[in-house]
Amino acid sequence: MTRFTSFPHYPHHTRQTLRGRFARHLRHGDRAGLLSEDTTVSDATMLAVLRGAVFEPGLGHERFAETYRTQPGGAEKPTFETLISDGWVWASGDRVFVPWPLRNALHETDDPQLKPLAAALKAAPPDRVSFPASARYDAALGPLIAKLTTPEDLRAYVCPTPSWVAARLWEETRGGSDPRARLRGWLDRWRMLGRPDLVPRKVWRPSDLVEFWTAAVELLCAEPTLLDWDQTFAAFDRLMGLTHGRSAMAKPKPLPLTLVERAIWLDTRPQDELVFHAFAHDRLTSLARMLFADLAASDALGALGDLPARLLERTAQIPELFWGLVRSAEAEPTLLADMVLSPRLAAAGFRAIEHRRTNDQGFDGWINEQDNARGRREAIEDGAAMLAAHIDGGADPVELAVLLDSAHEAASDLRAVDHAEPVLTALRGVAAALPAPSQQAMIAALVRRLALDTPRANRLAAILELAAFGGVVDPPHAEAVVDFYVQAIGPEGIKPSVNRLDASNAATLVSLAVGSAELWARFNAFSDGKAAFAKMAEGEDNEFTVARRVAEALRAHIRVLARAVQGAGSPTPDLVDALVKTTRYAARADWPRGRVEGFSPEFERGVSLRADDRPLADDLAGALNRLSGASHRGLLDAILETEEPTILAELLTQVSVASRPDIERRLRALKPDAAAPISFLTSAQARVQALLAAGLVDVAADYIDEERRLAPGRNIPGRALEAFKAQLRLAALREDWPALWSAKPPADFNVVDKEAAEDSIRFHQGLAAFAEPDGAGLGKAEAIFEGLARRKRHMIPYRINLMAAQMSRLLVADLFTKLSGEDLRRAHAILRESETIKGSTSGERRNLAHNRALLLLAAGAPQRALEVLSQSDLGEPEANASAFRAVAFNRLDDGRQALVILDAAIARFGPVEVLVAARAHIQSGAPFDSLAATVQTDERMLSVKSAMTDLRALDPERQAGALGHDQGLDGLVIDHVAQVAASLINLAPEMRRLGMDLEDNISGLVRELLAARVQLLGWSAPDQSRGGRTGKANAGERDIVLRRDATELAVIEAVMCRKAPDTQTGRQDLAFHFQKLLAYSQCGLFVHLTYGLISEPERIGPVLEDIARTSAPPAFAFRDLQPLTLHGGPAGFVARYAQADREVKVVFIVVDLAQVQQIATAVHARAPKPAGA
DSSP class of residue 60 equals B
pLDDT of residue 143: 78
Q: How far apart are CA 735 and CA 691, in angstroms?
A: 16
On whether both 1067 and 1123 belong to a single domain, the answer is yes
Of 878, 901, 935, which marks where a domain is finished? 935
Helix (H, G, I), strand (E, B) or coil at 1093: coil
Q: What is the pLDDT of residues 694-713, one digit of tens each?
A: 888 899 889 888 888 876 65
Position 38 scores a pLDDT of: 45
* Model confidence pLDDT, tens digit, residues 654-688: 888 888 999 999 999 999 999 888 877 778 888 88
Residues 454 and 544 in one domain: no
> In this structure, how many other beta carbons lie within 10 angstroms of the beta carbon of residue 5?
11
Residue 1089: enclosing H or E segment and its boundaries?
strand 1085-1092
Least confident of 356-370, 404-418, 488-502, 977-991: 356-370
Q: Are residues 544 and 509 in the same domain?
A: no
Q: CB within 8 A of 998, min separation 6: which ones?
A: 108
Mean pLDDT of 1136-1141: 82
Both 519 and 540 in one domain: the answer is no
Residues 578 and 515 in one domain: no
Predicted confidence band of residue 957 (pLDDT cuts 50, 70, 90)? confident
Q: Which residue has the higher pLDDT, 1141 or 940?
A: 1141
Q: Are strands 1117-1123 and 1131-1139 parallel, antiparallel or unpaired?
A: antiparallel
Residue 1061 lies in a domain: yes
Which 3 state secondary structure label does DSSP give 128? strand
- 806: phi then psi, degrees, rounded to nearest 5: -65, -45
Q: What is the pLDDT of residue 146?
A: 78
| Domain contains 737 | no
- The number of distinct structural domains making up the chain is 4
pLDDT band for 1059, please (50, 70, 90 cuts). confident
Query: Given pLDDT bands bounded at 50, 70 and 90, which one contains residue 533?
Result: confident
Domain extent at residue 1080: 954-1160
pLDDT value at 379 more than 90:
no
The pLDDT score that the predictor gives to residue 1168 is 63
Q: What is the CATH number of the domain that holds 793?
A: 1.25.40
Q: In this predicted model, what pLDDT tens digit does every residue of 540-578 receive, in sequence order?
A: 767 788 888 888 889 999 999 999 999 888 889 999 999
Predicted confidence at residue 37, as pLDDT, reads 44
Higher-pLDDT residue of 114, 780: 780
DSSP state of 676: P
Is residue 1063 classed as helix, strand or coil in its secondary structure?
coil
Tens digit of each residue's pLDDT (9 = 90 or more) over 782-799 = 999 999 988 888 788 899
User: Does position 954 have pLDDT exceeding 70, yes or no?
Assistant: no
- How many residues does this entry show for the chain? 1173
Residue 323: inside a domain, yes or no? no
Number of neighbours of residue 389 by Cβ within 10 angstroms: 23
Domain-embedded: residue 428: yes
Residue 942 belongs to a domain: no
Terminal alpha carbon distance of the chain = 98
Distance between alpha carbon 583 and the CA centroid of its chain, in Å? 35
The reply to whether 1004 and 1136 lie within a common domain is: yes
One domain for residues 1141 and 1007: yes
Task: Give the residue from 459, 494, 523 where a domain finishes.
Answer: 523
Q: Which of 523, 542, 571 is the last residue of a domain?
A: 523
**Residue 996, amino acid:** M
Residue 940 pLDDT class (50, 70, 90 cuts): low
User: Tell me, what's the pLDDT at 400?
Assistant: 92
Same domain, 1071 and 1135: yes
- Same domain, yes or no: 981 and 1116: yes
User: Alpha helix locations (H) across 811-872?
Assistant: 821-834, 842-858, 862-869
Q: Report if pTM > 0.75.
A: no
- Model pLDDT, residue 1170: 60
Provide the pLDDT for residue 250: 62
Exposed/middle/buried for 1140, CB within 10 Å: 0-12, 13-18, 19+? exposed
Q: Show the CA angle centred on residue 438, arms to residues 434 and 442, nearest 5°.
A: 110
Q: pLDDT for 770-781, tens place per residue?
A: 888 888 899 999
Provide the CA 576 distance to its chain's centre, in angstroms: 39
The mean pLDDT value of the chain amounts to: 82
The backbone torsions φ and ψ at residue 1036, rounded to the nearest 5 degrees and listed phi first, read: -80, 155
813 lies in some domain: yes
Distance CA 529, CA 592 (A): 9
β partners of residue 1145: 1085, 1136
Q: pLDDT higher for 1166 or 730?
A: 730
Burial code (b: 16+ CB inside 10 Å, e: under 16) for 942-974 equals bbebbbebbbbebbbbbbbbeeebeeebbebbb
CA distance 770 to 931: 8
Predicted confidence (pLDDT) at residue 34 exceeds the cutoff of 60: no
Q: Does pLDDT of 377 surpass 90?
A: no
What is the pLDDT at residue 528? 77
Q: Please state the separation of Cα 94 from the chain's center in Å.
A: 40
Check the CA dihedral 707-709-714-715 and report its sign.
positive
- CA distances in angstroms from 1082 to 1049, 1050, 1051, listed in the order given: 9, 9, 10
606, 796, 970 from 846: Cα distances, Å: 22, 13, 39
| pLDDT level of residue 943 (50, 70, 90 thresholds) | very low
- pLDDT for 939 beyond 70: no
The distance of Cα 327 from the centroid of its chain, to the nearest Å, equals 18
pLDDT of residue 1001: 73
362: pLDDT strictly greater than 80: no
Question: What is the C-alpha separation between 53 and 145, in angstroms, rounded?
Answer: 10
pLDDT-wise least confident of 175-189, 544-558, 1130-1144: 175-189
User: Is residue 779 situated within a structural domain?
Assistant: yes
Residue 88 — very low, low, confident or very high, per pLDDT cuts 50/70/90?
confident
- Positive or negative, the CA dihedral 645, 649, 654, 659 is positive
What distance in Å separates the CA atoms of residue 191 and residue 977, rounded to the nearest whole number?
35
Q: Assign residue 320 a region: left if phi > 0, alpha if psi is -120 to 50, beta otherwise?
A: alpha
Rounded to 10 deg, the angle between the 461-469 and 417-432 helix axes is 30
| Whether residue 1027 sits in one domain with residue 1141 | yes
Angstrom distance (rounded) from CA 596 to CA 615: 18
- Which tens digits make up the pLDDT trace of 868-920? 888 644 555 678 889 999 999 999 988 889 898 998 888 877 888 999 999 99
CA separation for the pair 965, 214 (Å, rounded): 56
Q: Is residue 759 part of a domain?
A: no
Q: How confident is the model at residue 1034 (pLDDT cuts 50, 70, 90)?
A: very low
| Statement to judge: residues 460 and 519 lie in one domain | yes
- Burial pattern 603-615, b for ≥16 Cβ within 10 A else e, equals bbbeeeeebbbbb
Beta strand extents in 104-244 (DSSP E only): 128-130
Residues 551 and 635 in one domain: yes
